[in-house]
Chains A and B, each alone.
Chain A
């Protein structure tokens, strides 16, 4: 039994099934992060000062307590990984499997770099006992960046599968494989997109 339009596009909509599926999923993710951002907005406008007093210290700005240079670096890392991701798809579209492997590997690598930098950030917070329970500023920081990091991990797992065992499909059904990379790419770009909004909102404002 064949499900129609798994690889070729349906004539009237112009897209294949998985593309519709992933955009629908991304729509739900928009609302998930949106819910958290709403919580952030609601809590922040309700607070007399932000960040305010945490563990006895007065903080006037987020940049006093969070590491902006490190986060800026992370922003560039993630944006670069988005480029390598779309390049990996483009390589497949141009029939260059070797280039695909290279770019996908780079994407995975950059993803790891992001997580390592994040680990340093979190580590430094924990060292200073700046835990989520101390203040809602820390709570929302950890929740938003934490959920985002979980999504990065998920993306790395999916990308690794497509770099490794999943790449076998290139031999048997190259078009379908290319579509899968496009779909994985859409997810990865979304993760980048969330960070593009998260970074200024949490760190700079």
Chain B
């Protein structure tokens, strides 16, 4: 169901929006806090990306209504993300397979 017209439904959703906002605020503080720990790159990367993914998921599911969206939209989102990840993975493997060597720059 994607057409929200009933006022009561909306009021429920407003409560969700506020909760998500609070969660996003907390996660932002956490991610900055972790950065101050100055972890080595691999754990830092994993933590930062996990938190960012969590935040992004909240925005997508609740602000962008993906949680109640139709199949056609969800398929589209899934395919785009799949392609994006494929592009990242292939480029990274390409670099190392070419002899890009050790994790340079970190």
When C-beta atoms are compared, the residue in chain A nearest to B28 turns out to be A75
A-B contact count (CB 8 A): 142
Which residues of chain A (69-88) have a CB below 8 Å from chain B?
A: 72, 75-76, 79-80, 82-83, 85-87
Interface readout for A31-74 with B: 1 if CB under 8 Å, 0 if not?
10011011001101111111000000000010100001000100
B77 with A205: CB separation less than 8 A: no
CB distance from A49 to the nearest CB of B (A): 6
Which residues of chain B (31-48) have a CB below 8 Å from chain A?
A: 31-32, 35, 38, 41, 44-45, 48
Cα distance, A41 to B106, chains bound together (Å): 12
B67 within 8 Å of A by Cβ?
Answer: no
CB distance from A158 to the nearest CB of B (A): 16
Residue of B7, B31, B63 touching A94 (CB-CB under 8 A): B7
Looking at the complex, which of A7-15, A110-118, A149-157, A161-169 is the stretch in contact with chain B? A7-15
Q: Is chain A's interface secondary structure helix, strand, loop, or mixed overall? A: helix
Name, among A44, A189, A204, the residue most crowded by chain B CB atoms within 10 Å (CB to CB).
A204
User: What is the interface size of chain B, counting residues whose CB is below 8 A from a CB of the partner?
Assistant: 56
Residue of B38, B60, B104 touching A45 (CB-CB under 8 A): B104
B105 with A48: CB separation less than 8 A: yes
Residue of A63, A75, A86, A203 touching B63 (CB-CB under 8 A): A86
Cα distance, A28 to B34, chains bound together (Å): 32
Q: Which A residues are CB-close (under 8 A) to B35?
A: 63, 68, 200, 203-205
A200 with B80: CB separation less than 8 A: no
B63 with A82: CB separation less than 8 A: yes
Which residues of chain B (1-57) have a CB below 8 Å from chain A?
A: 1-5, 7, 10-11, 13-14, 17-18, 20-21, 24-25, 28, 31-32, 35, 38, 41, 44-45, 48-49, 51-52, 55-56
> Which B residues are within 8 Å of any A CB, using their own CB?
1-5, 7, 10-11, 13-14, 17-18, 20-21, 24-25, 28, 31-32, 35, 38, 41, 44-45, 48-49, 51-52, 55-56, 59-60, 63-64, 70-73, 76-77, 79-81, 83-84, 87-88, 91-92, 95-96, 100, 103-106
Known A34-B88, A46-B104; 14 more pairs at CB < 8 Å = A9-B3, A30-B81, A31-B83, A38-B88, A41-B91, A42-B95, A44-B105, A48-B104, A86-B63, A192-B59, A200-B35, A200-B48, A204-B35, A204-B44
> Which A residues are within 8 Å of any B CB, using their own CB?
9, 13-15, 19-20, 23-24, 26-27, 30-31, 34-35, 37-38, 41-42, 44-50, 61, 63, 68, 72, 75-76, 79-80, 82-83, 85-87, 90, 93-95, 185-186, 189-190, 192-193, 196-197, 199-201, 203-205
